């Protein structure tokens, strides 16, 4: 690649071959090391000097730079120049998710060793879809699946001895992310509910239309609180069930699935003559927006009574089980039929790693796929029961991380997040300009900016006034979040919550996810101070006349620096 002709780089066979083999010369070796050091510390420098989340360059300006759709025939740049560009030109305009001031999303700082482990996985380049391209790594993955299964389901020694390396048992699978984990769980739940009988070979083989006919149905539904992750809606569409058949359920005052309404809904759906089948009920263990946890013990009881698949979406909350102090919050999860949990969230892995676990080691049999050249019947190929095919060995990273940290190390992180959230909530309550909207259960809280005189007004306002005030508050909080994001020092996210007996267009709230161990109460205080300052500088005349519209300059709602 490094041959130049007439000032242009030219791809050349001998140079090309060299990049595929172990560098023999000391010069090549030291070049490789130099590049890697540049990556380790060049990027590291970016991560520490840019405390802010984003840079000033506008999205429009930036996108102007990315408008050339032609791939050049000849090599454009040497490796070292590509690395330098990534470090000096791309990284500064990426998002510093590792900043302790970045408390808006479920992406955060990761231990530096995760990068080393990812590098090992890349260098080994195993494909875990089959034993012939992974061998020992498949065995290690099977063991890890047992380990996490045991953490979640706490089954017996005998159970794990039987299943840990059994080619016919599937305790779970690794998959790109939580969305695909939820899809996998509901795929299996659908197939379980519409199983083969008589001449009907099951929904997987015969399709949904045939399944409806066989079971005398005109509708299959899935029940989940309205705080369910949007991947569940996606799953219903993908699986042929239809988005309208994932029924969003009310929540109680603590944002947990409302059991009374759940029971009532089941009763209605199961009324005599009904042609509706409930495929699954989902219990959320750490709602994306609020961190709340559904009453898992009770949901399980209801599922058992009605013979319905119980899926726990613990993409966020799952690792809480490693905390001796807070694992009680997940009580009931061990009864679920399937559990989603993400590695790149509270296992602090680098992007991306999703997982799904099943109580019953045979339940995935309904999604068995063989081929003639791989995944043959009887083999231990992990690709036989999986929504994906080729996969990198992210299990190697999680297995190693658990060895390095122990559950004790993870527990320290989990406990820190939950306790920091409690302190943050206390601080918000003490400030007259803020309203705590959802109290922290795990390490997520939502709140909104609401000046004291407006809080006062809301207490006595009639319905029309409330509507007007909340509308304005929504506008303010939306702008506040964007202003703070644009200032580039810190980042909270925002969402819209639909609270019972409240503004029916939803309440715009600021959302904090506290998972970075470097985030302290002092930092959170700074973030609140900055929000108050933004209000003071940009919006404080907004409530001078409550009926006055448009006190804020217009901002495009969802484009960063648009």
> For residues 474 and 531, which CB has a smaller minimum distance to a copy of itself in the complex?
474
Give the interface segment with a copy of itself, choosing from 83-91, 266-274, 434-442, 544-552 (CB under 8 A): 83-91
Q: Does 231 bind a copy of itself (CB under 8 A)?
A: yes
Mark residues 470-499: x for contact with a copy of itself by CB under 8 A, - for none: ---------------x-----x-xxxxx--
Among 3, 4, 56, 72, binds a copy of itself (CB under 8 A): 72
| Three-state SS annotation for 93-134 | HCCCCCCCCECCCCCCCCCCHHHHHHHHHHHHCCCCCCHHHC
The token pair at 501 is 């007996």
| Closest to 314 measured CA to CA, from 357, 263, 362 | 357
Residue number with CB closer to a copy of itself (265 or 516): 516
Check binding of 244 to a copy of itself (CB under 8 A).
yes
Beta-carbon count within 10 A of 151 CB = 18
- Pairing of β 309-313 and β 276-284: parallel
Nearer to a copy of itself, 43 or 423 (CB): 43
Select the residue interacting with a copy of itself from 51, 95, 487, 499 (CB under 8 A): 95
**208 and 241 Cβ atoms separated by less than 8 Å:** yes
List, as one string, the DSSP characters of 222-258: EEEETTS-HHHHHHHHHTTS-GGGEEEEPB-TTSSB-
Alpha carbon distance 494, 499 (integer Å) = 15
Report the residue number, 220 or 341, with the smaller CB distance to a copy of itself.
220
Q: Report 402-441 residues binding a copy of itself (CB under 8 A).
A: 402-409, 411-413, 416
- Min CB(250)–a copy of itself separation in Å: 16
Count the site residues for a copy of itself by CB under 8 A: 197
Q: What is the distance between the alpha carbons of residues 354 and 313, in angstroms, rounded to a whole number? A: 12
Closer to a copy of itself at the Cβ: 203 or 302?
Answer: 203
- CB nearer to a copy of itself: pick between 439 and 485: 485
When the beta carbons of 351 and 487 are compared against a copy of itself, the nearer one is: 351
- 136 vs 459 by CB, closer to a copy of itself: 136
Q: What are phi and psi of 176, to 5 degrees?
A: -50, -45
Query: Which parts of 324-353 interact with a copy of itself (CB under 8 A)?
Result: 342, 344, 350-352
For the bound state, the minimum distance from the C-beta of residue 291 to a copy of itself, rounded and expressed in Å, comes to 12
435-457 core/surface letters (b: 16 or more CB in 10 A; e: else): bbbbbbbbbbbbbbbbbeebeeb
Rounded to the nearest whole angstrom, what is the least distance from the CB of residue 429 to a copy of itself in the complex? 23
CA-closest candidate to residue 280, choices 318, 232, 215: 232
- Check binding of 389 to a copy of itself (CB under 8 A): yes
* CA atoms 386, 388, 390, 391: torsion sign: negative
Distance CA 310, CA 52 (A): 42
Cα→Cα distances 290→130, 442, 443, 450, Å: 39, 9, 9, 19
What residues from 183 to 202 belong to the interface with a copy of itself (CB under 8 A)?
A: 183, 187, 201
Give the list of residues 6+ apart from residue 530 with CB closer than 8 angstroms, or none.
484, 487, 489, 490
Q: Which of 26, 27, 71, 273 binds a copy of itself (CB under 8 A)?
A: 71
Q: Which is nearer to a copy of itself, 222 or 302 (CB)?
A: 222
Phi-psi region of 79 (alpha: psi -120 to 50; beta: other; left: phi over 0): alpha
Per CB under 8 A, contacts with a copy of itself among 104-163 are 104-105, 107, 109-116, 118-127, 130-137, 139-140, 142-143, 146-151, 160-161
Nearer Cβ to a copy of itself (392/543): 392
Query: How many C-beta atoms lie closer than 10 Å to residue 36's C-beta?
Result: 12
Burial of 195 (0-12, 13-18, 19+ CB in 10 A): middle
Q: Which of 511, 512, 539, 543 binds a copy of itself (CB under 8 A)?
A: 511
Q: Which of residues 299-318 bind a copy of itself (CB under 8 A)?
A: none
Q: Choose the binding region for a copy of itself from 306-314, 380-388, 425-433, 454-462 (rule: CB under 8 A).
A: 380-388
Indicate the residue among 237 and 452 with the shorter CB distance to a copy of itself: 237
Across the strands, what pairs with 219? 276
Among 51, 58, 84, 208, interactor with a copy of itself by CB under 8 A = 208
20: CB partners within 8 A, 6+ apart? none
HSE-up of residue 423 (Cα within 13 Å, Cβ side): 14
Structure tokens at 468: 């007007």
Range 154-173, binding a copy of itself (CB under 8 A): 160-161, 164-165, 167
Question: Is 400 an interacting residue with respect to a copy of itself (CB under 8 A)?
Answer: yes
Using the rule CB under 8 A, give the single segment among 243-251, 264-272, 466-474, 535-543 that binds a copy of itself: 243-251
Where do we find the tokens 């955060």?
108
In the shown chain, the binding pattern of residues 31 to 50 toward a copy of itself, with x for contact by CB under 8 A and - for none, equals -xx-xxx-xxx-xxx-xx--
Interface map 277-296 toward a copy of itself (x if CB under 8 A): -----------xx-------
**Is residue 3 a contact residue for a copy of itself (CB under 8 A)?**
no
């Amino acid at each position: 690649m490094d041959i130049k002709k007439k000032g242009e780089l030219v791809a050349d066979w001998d140079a090309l071959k060299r990049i595929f083999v172990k560098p023999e010369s000391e010069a090549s070796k030291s070049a490789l090391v130099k590049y890697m050091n540049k990556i380790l510390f060049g990027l590291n420098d970016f991560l520490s000097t840019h405390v802010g989340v984003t840079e000033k360059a506008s999205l429009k300006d930036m996108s102007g730079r990315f408008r050339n759709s032609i791939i050049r025939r000849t090599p454009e740049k040497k490796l070292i120049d590509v690395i330098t560009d990534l470090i000096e030109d791309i990284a500064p305009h990426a998002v510093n998710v590792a900043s302790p001031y970045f408390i808006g999303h479920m992406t955060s700082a990761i231990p530096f060793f995760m990068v080393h482990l990812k590098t090992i996985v890349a260098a080994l380049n195993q494909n875990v879809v089959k034993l012939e391209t992974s061998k020992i790594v498949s065995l290690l993955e099977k063991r890890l699946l047992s380990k996490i299964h045991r953490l979640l389901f706490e089954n017996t020694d005998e159970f794990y001895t039987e299943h840990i390396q059994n080619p016919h048992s599937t305790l779970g699978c690794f998959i790109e992310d939580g969305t695909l984990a939820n899809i996998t769980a509901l795929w299996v739940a659908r197939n379980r509910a519409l199983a083969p009988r008589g001449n009907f070979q099951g929904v997987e083989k015969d399709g949904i239309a045939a399944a409806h006919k066989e079971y005398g149905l005109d509708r299959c539904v899935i029940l989940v609180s309205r705080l369910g992750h949007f991947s569940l809606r996606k799953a219903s569409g993908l699986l042929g069930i239809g988005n309208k058949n994932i029924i969003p359920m009310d929540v109680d005052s603590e944002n947990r699935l409302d059991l009374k309404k759940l029971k009532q809904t089941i009763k209605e759906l199961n009324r005599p003559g009904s042609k509706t089948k409930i495929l699954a009920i989902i219990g959320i263990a750490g709602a994306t927006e609020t961190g709340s946890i559904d009453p898992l013990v009770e949901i399980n009881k209801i599922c058992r009574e009605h013979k319905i698949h119980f899926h726990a979406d613990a993409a966020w909350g799952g690792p809480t089980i490693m905390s001796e102090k807070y694992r009680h919050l997940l009580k009931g999860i061990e009864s679920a039929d399937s559990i989603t949990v993400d590695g790149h969230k509270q296992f602090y892995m680098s992007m991306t790693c999703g997982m799904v676990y099943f109580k019953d080691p045979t339940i995935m049999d309904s999604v068995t796929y063989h081929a003639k050249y791989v995944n043959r019947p009887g083999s231990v190929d992990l690709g036989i029961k999986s929504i994906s095919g080729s996969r990198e060995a992210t299990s190697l990273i999680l297995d190693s991380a658990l060895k390095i940290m122990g559950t004790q190390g993870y527990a320290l992180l989990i406990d820190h997040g939950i306790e920091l959230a409690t302190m943050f909530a206390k601080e918000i309550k003490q400030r007259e300009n803020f309203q705590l909207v959802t109290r922290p259960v795990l390490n997520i809280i939502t709140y909104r900016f609401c000046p004291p005189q407006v809080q006062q007004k809301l207490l006595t306002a009639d319905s029309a006034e409330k509507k007007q005030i909340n509308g304005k508050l929504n506008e303010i909080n939306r702008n506040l979040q964007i202003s703070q994001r644009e200032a580039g020092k810190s980042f909270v996210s925002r969402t819209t919550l639909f609270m019972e007996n409240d503004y029916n267009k939803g309440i715009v709230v600021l959302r904090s996810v506290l998972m970075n161990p470097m985030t302290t109460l002092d930092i959170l205080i700074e973030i609140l101070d900055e929000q108050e300052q933004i209000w003071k500088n940009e919006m404080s005349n907004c409530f001078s006349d409550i009926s006055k519209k448009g006190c804020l300059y217009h901002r495009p709602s969802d484009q960063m620096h648009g």
